[in-house]
């Protein structure tokens, strides 16, 4: 695929991103086939502008589009809508936090049918720590490290991109399963990495709870979100002061609903389906063009 894109790159105007090269490639190869682009940030287009912007010079925002875009849009779209359906929540009156947790992780605040905030920003590097991604960080750390280590911006970014996050802190792996095994063997750095990951999830849920002025449900998906019962229990225990109660047996068995029947906030675990979201959006676009 990458080689094919390289062969067709001259069809696209200069300085265009790779996805535009792909579009030109497919248009050349399949001139009569409809092409539909379903982009991850699209789901987060409803985030208010005041939430999207950073405290940068306004020129960066206005001229260079330096704002929050957000990612994992297809996954958050599927999980939020499925949560509303499963719980029978009113389509225009609900407050949900979705947690897509895996090698790549992000959270989304979903209120009354709209994404109102998400943890990833201008790039997927921001938000909570991830497999090898640094997450939220003071930008002035970079020039400090560049000076102390005598490295370039490119070298420092490469270190952040390949040796940060869970892998960088634990020194073991970007895979939570490997980290958990290391914890069982007494590895303190592995424990620190897991604790930091859980802390970040809690921090974002707390932020979104206040922004939405309440919470009906928290939904977990992704490899970690679906399979790590202990992590879910530790995250959700922070909501007990609001009347959340977990069903330990259901949580251990990764049931669809893992909250107790009398819990004031519901918790769900489900497998996401990004492919069906892309297919549905494609059908919508094609039908509109007919």
In this prediction, residues 95-102 reach a mean pLDDT of 98
**Lowest mean pLDDT segment, chosen from 25-34, 134-143, 175-184, 189-198:** 25-34
The pLDDT value recorded for residue 275 is 92
* Whether domain 49-280 has CATH 1.10.357.10: no
Q: Which residue has the higher pLDDT, 290 or 213?
A: 213
Whole-prediction pTM: 0.89
Q: Which one-letter DSSP state was computed for residue 97? A: E
| Closest to 238 measured CA to CA, from 270, 213, 215, 257 | 215
Beta-carbon contacts of residue 87 (< 8 Å; ≥ 6 apart)? 216, 217, 266, 268
pLDDT at 251 over 50: yes
Are 180 and 194 in contact by the 8 Å Cβ rule? The answer is: yes
Kindly list the domain boundaries of the chain, sorted by start residue: 2-35, 49-280
For 46-93, what is each residue's pLDDT tens digit?
Answer: 999 999 999 999 999 999 999 999 999 999 999 999 999 999 999 999
Annotate 155-180 with b (16+ C-beta within 10 A) or e (fewer): ebeeebeeebbbbbbbebbbbbeebb
The pLDDT value recorded for residue 266 is 98
């Amino acid at each position: 695929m990458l080689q094919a894109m390289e062969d067709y790159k001259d069809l696209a105007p200069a300085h265009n991103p790779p996805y535009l090269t792909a579009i030109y490639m497919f248009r050349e190869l399949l001139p009569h086939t409809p092409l539909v682009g379903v982009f991850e940030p699209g789901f987060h287009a409803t985030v208010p502008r005041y939430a999207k912007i950073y405290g940068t010079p306004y020129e960066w925002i206005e001229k260079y589009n330096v704002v929050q875009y957000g990612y994992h849009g297809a996954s958050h779209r599927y999980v939020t809508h499925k949560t509303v359906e499963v719980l029978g929540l009113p389509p225009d009156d609900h407050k949900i936090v979705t947690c897509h947790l895996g090698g790549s992780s992000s959270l989304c605040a979903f209120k009354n049918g709209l994404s109102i905030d998400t943890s990833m920003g201008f790039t997927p590097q921001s938000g909570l720590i991830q497999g090898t991604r640094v997450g939220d960080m003071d930008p002035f750390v970079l020039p400090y490290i560049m000076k102390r280590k005598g490295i370039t911006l490119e070298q420092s970014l490469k270190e952040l991109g390949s040796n940060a996050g869970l892998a960088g802190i634990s020194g073991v792996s970007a895979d939570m399963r490997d980290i958990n095994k290391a914890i069982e063997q007494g590895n303190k750095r592995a424990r620190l990495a897991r604790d930091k990951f859980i802390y970040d999830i809690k921090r974002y849920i707390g932020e979104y709870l206040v922004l939405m002025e309440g919470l009906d449900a928290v939904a977990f998906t992704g490899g970690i979100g679906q399979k790590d019962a202990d992590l879910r229990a530790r995250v959700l225990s922070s909501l007990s002061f609001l009347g959340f109660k977990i069903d330990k047996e259901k949580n251990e068995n990764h049931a669809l609903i893992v909250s107790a029947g009398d819990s004031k906030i519901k918790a769900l675990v489900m497998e996401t389906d990004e492919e069906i979201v892309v297919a549905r959006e494609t059908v919508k676009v094609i039908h509109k063009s007919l």
